[in-house]
Amino acid sequence: MTIVLADTDSNFRHRLKRRLERIAGVKVVGESSDSEEATAMILNRKPDIAILNSSLRDGRAIEVLQQVKRLMVPPTIIIVTDNPSHDNKTSCSLAGADFFFDKATEEHMTINAVRFLSAPQNRLEPSDSSVATLNE
């Protein structure tokens, strides 16, 4: 299971990467702080999962989502956000996010989602369109 991380906070990316790579079979194959670089990494490295902050240095994850979801087999998209508002969640869901978590209080949920997805029988199908929070 390969992952690209995109978040402006390098400390958050580093901490999350360490935690993710403790999961058997999980490898972070790229990190970025801006939307252009994140999009290029996802398109070129074709990760299984992309973890994106809803706001990146030079744009928003919405633009990344819109480009990436056009792929024949897009990665599962996990949004981590500093803005867990209903409007932000709705925007991310409409753009194609598969999961949506509050970065400050739900980091463990991000880890749990990756654990869930790394089990072969739990992979999301590309046609699944609603945002999950694992609290529903």
What the block records as the tokens of 78 is: 């996990």
- How high is the pLDDT of residue 69? 83
Q: Spelled out in words, what is the top-level CATH class assigned to the domain 2-122?
A: alpha beta
What pLDDT digit, counting tens, does each position of 21-30 carry? 999 999 999 9
Judged against a pLDDT cut of 70, whether residue 128 lies above it is answered with no
What pLDDT digit, counting tens, does each position of 83-104 carry? 899 998 998 998 889 999 999 9
Instruction: Give the domain ranges of the chain.
Output: 2-122
What is the pTM assigned to this prediction?
Answer: 0.85
Which pLDDT band holds residue 60 (cuts at 50, 70, 90)?
Answer: confident
